[in-house]
Each structure stands twice: as structure tokens, then as C-alpha cells.
């Protein structure tokens, strides 16, 4: 047994991408379907919803259309559904399954079962018991597909759910509602209840695959795989299942000991990055500055091999301290007229042409507002490209408010406001009768996009950016009018390549969010990456001198040992960034419930920047009011 096997209590398969992981599971499902077909038997699948299985379902559809995989002998049972919710609502899992899988394969609709969010409260208990009976009557589930919530839930079995729980109605934790709020117009619209298969129901499946993609899932994956079995982490209960496999992409696996602390799971190569990672983690664990670590600290915490290879703790400490020190700079565009070999950025050329890609019309100021302002103030030619309109993130109330203002303005200006009055009347009529299954009209989406463009322009002008340096891409993949977006397309890449070639930047900043592989940030990142790769392959000279820096979005930060450029902020700069965020009035988070995080974006951003600065201070560096962090991408 290897050291990894002793640490990981659930079998784990790790793939380079979610696409490869999804193909592996799809192949397992296809093999089971065909095996059952050969015996004249039904194949019973337990299916999941959410963002994680989308690529799996796309691969199953491909196998059906291109490789003749038939679903005629397949019976399906879905894990869960929001309650109460109309079955045709945009957020309904009934609708999701039809759109993602059922409508594209030859499965008999009578053989598909998704919990019904329309059942009356009085009938719920009987309905849930009948759901269990249908699974039993079908012979039990052959393969159960699971995702995992950030709090460890499987299905909607929240922390505390009993190992022996059955299909039932369950209240959703606020953390789950927050995580799923992106599917709804705002958090108040997220149902507080859900129907879910129980953990005991899941355990009866003959084989279980749990899939997890993206770094946001890494902490809970580590707890479920390596931690103790506890109902507080429902996924950890799967350690007791006879045939379960966790299928992960590389980012979802990053907190497993073999990656987070590989020196504890076997022999490793002590590169400079690995040394930095080990020492930073050791210092934070012991709550000691890097320069205060002793030989005993190393040997007592599994790092004796590092001492053997690199020598005394003092020398190792200095090496890591200098790496941390050299990542800090107040000159994100490079310091002019200075030769600093270890500086994160080049001193020349100066000034630089910088292009900030912002997935939504506020990510620039929220995620790197301090750096944004420094680049401008230090004389660089700064451009901002807003990749999507962000129109679905505007509440309906803002539409009538802004159109009403337009009507009043035209009245004050003595302009005929008949057209704007009609638009206002139409908007009020539509919104008053709007159902959960209704998409906004094209006109309302255009108004919502206009609201966000106005806020983005105002933010740029606040920073000092010229109007001609503000670019609204409105990438087509986003413009579906729904939460569900299209994959990256050729037109998205073409538009981005065109902009890059027009500007020819020496610096590019983009959101390096790998947390949700299906999310807007990740698609926007992939578009930039693909565009730069193609431009490089085409031989454009300017791209050879273009450096790409990745920032994190509003929800996460880079691990301290990963940070290659840390831009400090003074208290005044923190306040200036806050006022820039305030300009985005349509995104003010006045959350109408008591959740685990009801803070507004400016509060979250400040807390994250403060925590990064605190970590540097704990490691023995200067204590700043805040820090924004970046990692360089090489292509």
C-alpha cells in the first residue's frame, strides 16, 4: 500500500480536465448500458444536476448520436429538485434534464423520473415514499452519479443528514442557497426547500461516481476523501460504500495531501517552487515568521528530507523570505529606470500598453481595483475590455427605475417622450406578469446591459481611463438571456483576437478563476487563452513581449505560495477602491435574508485583500492595509 492509499480513504481518479473526467464516466455508463442490453435487462441510472454533470451529459449525447449508444433500455432517477418550483421554470431540474440529456437521446420519457417540485405539501410524504418504491421496483440503481456541494452535501442531503435518511423534503442551508443563487435572479428567489433522495437511498446504488471540477471544490474533497466519516460532511459517508470512485480534475484535487503537502506522501523533487510551498505552509501552520523557523520545526513536521537536501533551516528560510519579499511591488507595470532582476515585471518598455479583461462589468474594480488605479496613475496606457454585458445580474426593479428616469429626463429636456413612455409601459406590463419560466424580452435585456455599461464607464472615468480605451465586447456565448450559457465559440475567439491585435498590449490581466469550469469567468479565461495561443502560432511579433497576469474573482484568492506579484494598498487606496465599487449600484448586495455571508462586494473584496496582507505579515513581511495578488500565465 502506498502512502497515498493510506491517506485517501476513497478511490480517486484525477484527470487533466473535466472533459477527460466526464468521458471516463460516460464510458463506464455506456459499458453498463450495453452489458445490460446484451442480457435483455434494464439499466437503472441515478442522475445528478447542476454544473458538474453538464459535460458528462454532452458526452452521452455524443455517444448516442455518433456511436449509436441507445438509451431504450435505460431507466433514470434524479437525485433532487427545488421545492416548490414549477417543472418548466428556468431553474427546474426537470427542465434541466430535458435540455441537457433526455430530449437528445432515444430514452422513453416514461422511464425518466425527476422529483416533482409541484406536488402539494400535503402529498409530499406519500410522493417521496412512492419515489423510493419506484427505485426498488426497477431493481435498484446500477450507477449513481453525484456532484458535491461546497459544504459536502450530496444530492441535497445537507450537513447533519442521517446515514439512514430516505427520499424526503429538506430545508436548504443558506450556504447552499448562496452557492446556487447564480441560477436565480437574486438570492431571495432561491427556494428554501428541496426534495432529495436520502443518503441511504444513494448507498443502495451498486456503483457510485462522484464528480468534482474546479478549485472551489478542493477543500471539501480533501475532507471527504481524507477526513473522518461524519454526517457533518455527508460525502465523507461514502468512505463506507463498497464501490465508489471520486472523479476529479486537477484543480479539484489540489488540497489532497499528495498535492498540497506532497512531501508527506512520498519522495519529491525539491524545486524552488516546492521549497517555497513547503516553507510557507510550515510557517503558517506553526504561526511563525519564515525567518524564525528552526531545524526542529522542519524535522517535527515531515520536512527532514528538505534539510538533508538543502542544508540548514537558516539558509532555506532566507531563500523563501527573499522570494516572498521580491513578489511585493508597488509598480505592477514595472519600475522605470531601475534594474531589479527579481522584480515581478520588466522595467522596459515604459510606459506599457495594458489590457484588463473583465468578465463582467465590475470584476476589474472588485478584483484588481488598486492595481487598476496604480497602472493608470503610473502613466501606462490602460485599456479595459468588458467581455460580457452582465445583463442577467440586474434585477427587474432597476429596469423600471432607469426607464422612468429616462422618461422624466426627456420631459425636462422638452423632448417628445412618447417612445420611452411606451417602453416603460411595456416593461411594467411584462415584469408584473413575469413567471419563473419566462426569459426577459430582448428589449429588457438590452436595458439591463445598458445599465451595466453605464456603471462600467463611470468606474473607468473615476479611475481616469479615456472613453476610447473602454471596450464592450458583448461576447456571444453569454447572450442567451438565461443563466445557462453557450460554450466558447469561434466568434468569441475572433472578437478577442481582433481586440488584442488592435491594442497590441505588453501586459494583459484576466480573471484566472478555475473554481467553476462552467462559469462565465472560466469561459472568458479560456477565450483569452485560446486567442493568445492562436496569435502566437500565427507569428505576430508583438505577442512575444506580452505578459499575462491572472487575478482571482470576488470569491477566492491565490494560495500565498502561488503569488508571483503582490500589489500593496495603503488605507487611502483601499478607500478609493471601495468608492469605485460603489459606482456599480445595480450590483449592491442588499441581501434580504440572514445568510452565512450577507456582505456586499466591497466588503468581501476588502476582507480578501486584508487577509492576503495579513498572511504576508504573519510570514514576516511588512504589514499593509491590503494586497492584490497575481500569478503569471506562460503561453
Longest dimension (CA), the chain: 83
- What is the C-alpha separation between 156 and 172, in angstroms, rounded? 7
Q: Are 360 and 448 in contact (CB under 8 A)?
A: no
**∠ CA(524), CA(526), CA(530), 5° rounding?**
120
Q: Environment class of residue 271 by beta-carbon count within 10 Å: exposed (0-12), middle (13-18) or buried (19+)?
A: exposed
Cell of 409: 429626463
When computed from its CA atoms, the radius of gyration of the chain, rounded to whole angstroms, is 26
Cα distances (Å, whole numbers) of residue 226 to 244, 254, 521: 14, 13, 30
Q: Environment class of residue 230 by beta-carbon count within 10 Å: exposed (0-12), middle (13-18) or buried (19+)?
A: middle
Cell of 258: 499528495
Cα distances (Å, whole numbers) of residue 140 to 74, 148, 205: 12, 22, 6
Q: Environment class of residue 283 by beta-carbon count within 10 Å: exposed (0-12), middle (13-18) or buried (19+)?
A: buried
- What is the C-alpha separation between 531 and 542, in angstroms, rounded? 14
Q: Are 46 and 145 in contact (CB under 8 A)?
A: yes
Distance of CA 55 to the CA centre of its chain: 15
CB neighbour list of residue 70: distance below 8 Å, 6 or more residues apart: 33, 37, 64, 106
Strand order in the sheet with 112-113: 12-15, 244-249, 207-212, 143-146, 43-47, 74-78, 112-113
**DSSP H or E run through 46:** strand 43-47
158 is catalytic: yes
Name the active-site residue from 158, 183, 345, 606: 158
- What is the C-alpha separation between 365 and 381, in angstroms, rounded? 17
- What is the C-alpha separation between 464 and 505, in angstroms, rounded? 19
Q: Are 202 and 78 in contact (CB under 8 A)?
A: no
User: What positions carry a catalytic annotation?
Assistant: 158
Amino acid at each position: 500500500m502506498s502512502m497515498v492509499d493510506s491517506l485517501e480513504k476513497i478511490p480517486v481518479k484525477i484527470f487533466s480536465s473535466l472533459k477527460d473526467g466526464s468521458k471516463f464516466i460516460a464510458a463506464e455508463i455506456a459499458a453498463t448500458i450495453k452489458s445490460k442490453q446484451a442480457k435483455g435487462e434494464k439499466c437503472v441510472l441515478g442522475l445528478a444536476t447542476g454544473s458538474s454533470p453538464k459535460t458528462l451529459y454532452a458526452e452521452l449525447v455524443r455517444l448516442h448520436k455518433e456511436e449509436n449508444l441507445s438509451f431504450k433500455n435505460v431507466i433514470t432517477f434524479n437525485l433532487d429538485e427545488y421545492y416548490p418550483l414549477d417543472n418548466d421554470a428556468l431553474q427546474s431540474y426537470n427542465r434541466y434534464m430535458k435540455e441537457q440529456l433526455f430530449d437528445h437521446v432515444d430514452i422513453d420519457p416514461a422511464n425518466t423520473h425527476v422529483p416533482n417540485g409541484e406536488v402539494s405539501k400535503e402529498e409530499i410524504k406519500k410522493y417521496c415514499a412512492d419515489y423510493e418504491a419506484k427505485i426498488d421496483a426497477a431493481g435498484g440503481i446500477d450507477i449513481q452519479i453525484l456532484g458535491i456541494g461546497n459544504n459536502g452535501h450530496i444530492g441535497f442531503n445537507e450537513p447533519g443528514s442521517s446515514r439512514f435518511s430516505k427520499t424526503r423534503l429538506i430545508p436548504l442551508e443558506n450556504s447552499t442557497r448562496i452557492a446556487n443563487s447564480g441560477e436565480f435572479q437574486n438570492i431571495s428567489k432561491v427556494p428554501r426547500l428541496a426534495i432529495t433522495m436520502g443518503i441511504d437511498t444513494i448507498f443502495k446504488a451498486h456503483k457510485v461516481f462522484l464528480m468534482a471540477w474546479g478549485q472551489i471544490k478542493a477543500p471539501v474533497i480533501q475532507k471527504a476523501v481524507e477526513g473522518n466519516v461524519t454526517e457533518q460532511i455527508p460525502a465523507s459517508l461514502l468512505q463506507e460504500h463498497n464501490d465508489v470512485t471520486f472523479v476529479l480534475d486537477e484543480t479539484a484535487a489540489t488540497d489532497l495531501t499528495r498535492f498540497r503537502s506532497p512531501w508527506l506522501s512520498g519522495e519529491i523533487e525539491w524545486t524552488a517552487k516546492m521549497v517555497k510551498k513547503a516553507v510557507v505552509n510550515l510557517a503558517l501552520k506553526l504561526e511563525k515568521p519564515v525567518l524564525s523557523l528552526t531545524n526542529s520545526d522542519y524535522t517535527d513536521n515531515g520536512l527532514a528530507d528538505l534539510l538533508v537536501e538543502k542544508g540548514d533551516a537558516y539558509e532555506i528560510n532566507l531563500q523563501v523570505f527573499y522570494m516572498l519579499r521580491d513578489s511585493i511591488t508597488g509598480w505592477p507595470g514595472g519600475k522605470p529606470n531601475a534594474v531589479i532582476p527579481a522584480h515581478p515585471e520588466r522595467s522596459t518598455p515604459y510606459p506599457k500598453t495594458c489590457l484588463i479583461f473583465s468578465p463582467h462589468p465590475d470584476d476589474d474594480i472588485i478584483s484588481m481595483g488598486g492595481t487598476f488605479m496604480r497602472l493608470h496613475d503610473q502613466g501606462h496606457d490602460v485599456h479595459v475590455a468588458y467581455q460580457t454585458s452582465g445583463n442577467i445580474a440586474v434585477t427587474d426593479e432597476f429596469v423600471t427605475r432607469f426607464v422612468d428616469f429616462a422618461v422624466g429626463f426627456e420631459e425636462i429636456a422638452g423632448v417628445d417622450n412618447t417612445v420611452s413612455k411606451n417602453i416603460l409601459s411595456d416593461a411594467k406590463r411584462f415584469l408584473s406578469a413575469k413567471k419563473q419560466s419566462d426569459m426577459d424580452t430582448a428589449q429588457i435585456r438590452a436595458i439591463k446591459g445598458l445599465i451595466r455599461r453605464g456603471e462600467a464607464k463611470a468606474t473607468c472615468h473615476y479611475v481616469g481611463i479615456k472613453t476610447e480605451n473602454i471596450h464592450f465586447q458583448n461576447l456571444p456565448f453569454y447572450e442567451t438571456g438565461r443563466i445557462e450559457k453557450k460554450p466558447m465559440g469561434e466568434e468569441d475567439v475572433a472578437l478577442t483576437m481582433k481586440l488584442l491585435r488592435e491594442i497590441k498590449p505588453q501586459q494583459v490581466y484576466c480573471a484566472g478563476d478555475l473554481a467553476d469550469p462552467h462559469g462565465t469567468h472560466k469561459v472568458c479565461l479560456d477565450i483569452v487563452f485560446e486567442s493568445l495561443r492562436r496569435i502566437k502560432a500565427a507569428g505576430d511579433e508583438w505577442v512575444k513581449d506580452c505578459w499575462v497576469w491572472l487575478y482571482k474573482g470576488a470569491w477566492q484568492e491565490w494560495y500565498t505560495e502561488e503569488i508571483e506579484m503582490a500589489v500593496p494598498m495603503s488605507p487611502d487606496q483601499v478607500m478609493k477602491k471601495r468608492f469605485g465599487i460603489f459606482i456599480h449600484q445595480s450590483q449592491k448586495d442588499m441581501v434580504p435574508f440572514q445568510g452565512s455571508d450577507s456582505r456586499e462586494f466591497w466588503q468581501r473584496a476588502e476582507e480578501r485583500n486584508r487577509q492576503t496582507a495579513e498572511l504576508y505579515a504573519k510570514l514576516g513581511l511588512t504589514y499593509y492595509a491590503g494586497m492584490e495578488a497575481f500569478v503569471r500565465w506562460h503561453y
